[in-house]
Structure 1
Amino acid sequence: TMSPATKVAAMLVMAATAAGVVAGEIPKSLSSEHDRIVVSHRPQGATSAAFQLHYFCLQGLGELPRLILEISQTPYDSVMYFTTKEYKSFAPFGQMPVLHVKKDDGSEAWLAQSGAIVRYLSKKLGLSGATEEEESMVDMVFEGSKDIMGKKPAVHEAVDSDSTDAQRLRMYLEKSEGLLGSKQYFVGDKLTYADVGMFHALYTLQEVGDKYLDRAGYKSLSAFVTRMASLPSLSAYLSSERRVPLTEKELGKGSDKYIYTRELPEGMIREEGKKEL
């Protein structure tokens, strides 16, 4: 019986050598018949990567771990799938995202669940709180960012809508503005995964909701998003071919279709399977 590592290694060899199920064609949706895509990021001249993130070819729950890796300029491989058939054998809970960690001593670890992956990476990469109390606050804000993301469909309503979701979203945003105040970061005096989580949620609101934060008057949160997006590492990622476009389902307008809202970057779809973007 092959170990999880052996199975994944074999799969990646296949990805690197196969010509592709539909070579030359760019997938229009997550349901397209296409080989997995392996995109390598090797910043600052790195030649190898200790982290391999497995997820579908969409933002979804894989985007937060990607943002952590990108903002910290950490080398990694992003393995993106168009099918549910390939990963269940090595995923701890039979679902993705999954982080494969290759350690210096030759051992390895497999982590599932987006939040657990984010916390693990943050501890490894210096994005956690400086003290136990600060870490608790960082964790609190991070969890709050997920509540904001959960009310994303409300950005398509009028900014003064009295629907339950719209009122709840406004409450979350008002509380978040209070937590941020005039500070640069949500917790402490350095970047943490609380800021990355908040950026992900708030940037998504801006992206799918026609600059919702500006329309609704959340000036400090809008300024926070602009400030974060201008960080060199994050700015480079947001404009790169490594970033997967949103799908119709992720817009939060009621569609259940994982059809891409814009064409996948051409550089992402190549026959060699593994590439640097």
Structure 2
Amino acid sequence: MAHLVYFNGRGRGEIVRMMLAASEIPFTESFLTERKQFENLLEDGALSFKQVPLLRIDDMELVQTGAIVRYVARKGGLYSADDKMAAMIDMYYDASRDFQYIFLTLKFLKTEEQVIADAKAAGDSKYFPALEKRLKENGTGFLVGNSLTLADVGFLEVLLMCIEYGGEHFFDDYVEVQKYYQRLISIPSMANFLKSPFRKRKNDDQYIAEVKLVLNRT
């Protein structure tokens, strides 16, 4: 069984949780709430680059979110052995991370109102038209191939936040994106995850305080 070490919040850990769920890999998790916990991980050599999330899986201690989710995707059959398809999955997944970064600034650097405005502007100018075009071209209901991949899970995380913060009509002007979103949240593994305790709450003051305390940031 895999074990995730992160904060009791979303941040960069949520995509790891979503990928584990999508790949149907059972996992447990523990939360960092005190500086000493983080220091212990450093002393034990568990954090190669002095950062979390940390995933313990298959006798490995993995950090770097991209490496973690790609490993999980391969184990769960949500990647591709074909180099061209893998490159396409990487391209759309990395784009989803660029989009998602807007939400990572919430309450750390920007207010909710600023984040919503930035997300809407980025969505309308770049991401939603690109998704609309790709979904029409591929014609399978997924971004790459004919089944769920890492690319889809990456964008699902962002679309969920768009709806949660910006309202249910956030991407009403994009018919294919609407259908895509509804399709993804209806996939059993994703539907079950969204109803489970593994789905973390929105950023709140407690989460922000714990992150700053653990990482020794003001």
Instruction: Give TM-score scaled by structure 2 length.
Output: 0.79
Q: What CA deviation, in whole Å up to 9, does each residue of 1:133-181 have, x standing for no partner?
A: 0000000000011122234466633xxxxx8x75433122211211122
- The answer as to 2:120 corresponding to 1:169 is no
Q: Structure 1 residue aligned with 2:208, among 233, 258, 275?
A: 258
Q: Deviation at 1:202?
A: 1.1
Q: 2: CA distance between counterparts of 1:74 and 1:221? A: 28
Q: 2: CA distance between counterparts of 1:53 and 1:113? A: 13
8 A Cα contact 1:96 1:113, kept in partner: yes
Q: Structure 2 residue aligned with 1:120, among 71, 81, 89?
A: 71
Q: 2: CA distance between counterparts of 1:146 and 1:100? A: 22
8 A Cα contact 2:7 2:207, kept in partner: no
8 A Cα contact 2:22 2:189, kept in partner: yes
* Aligned counterpart, 2:167: 210
1:45-56 paired onto structure 2 within 5 Å: 49=1, 51-56=2-7
Q: 1: CA distance between counterparts of 2:25 and 2:202? A: 23
Q: Sequence identity, in percent?
A: 29
Q: Looking at CA atoms only, which structure, 1 or 2, has the larger radius of gyration? A: 1
Larger proportion of helix: 2
Q: What CA deviation, in whole Å up to 9, does each residue of 1:5-61 have, x standing for no partner?
A: xxxxxxxxxxxxxxxxxxxxxxxxxxxxxxxxxxxxxxxxxxxx1x11111110110
Secondary structure at the counterpart of residue 28 of structure 2: strand
Unmatched tracts of structure 1, length 5 or more: 1-48, 103-107, 158-162, 250-255, 260-277
Q: What CA deviation, in whole Å up to 9, does each residue of 1:68-109 have, x standing for no partner?
A: 11122211112222224313422111110011123xxxxx21
* Aligned counterpart, 1:129: 80
1:144-183 paired onto structure 2 within 5 Å: 144-152=95-103, 156-157=116-117, 166-170=120-124, 171-181=126-136, 182-183=139-140
The verdict on how the C-alpha distance between 1:136 and 1:239 changes in structure 2, with shifts beyond 3 A counting, is same
- The answer as to 2:202 corresponding to 1:246 is yes
- The answer as to 2:10 corresponding to 1:59 is yes
8 A Cα contact 2:10 2:201, kept in partner: yes
Secondary structure at the counterpart of residue 208 of structure 2: coil
1:186-225 paired onto structure 2 within 5 Å: 186-215=143-172, 217-225=173-181
Unmatched tracts of structure 2, length 5 or more: 104-111, 210-218
The verdict on how the C-alpha distance between 1:120 and 1:53 changes in structure 2, with shifts beyond 3 A counting, is same
Q: 1: CA distance between counterparts of 2:36 and 2:129? A: 42
Secondary structure at the counterpart of residue 4 of structure 2: strand
8 A Cα contact 1:148 1:173, kept in partner: no
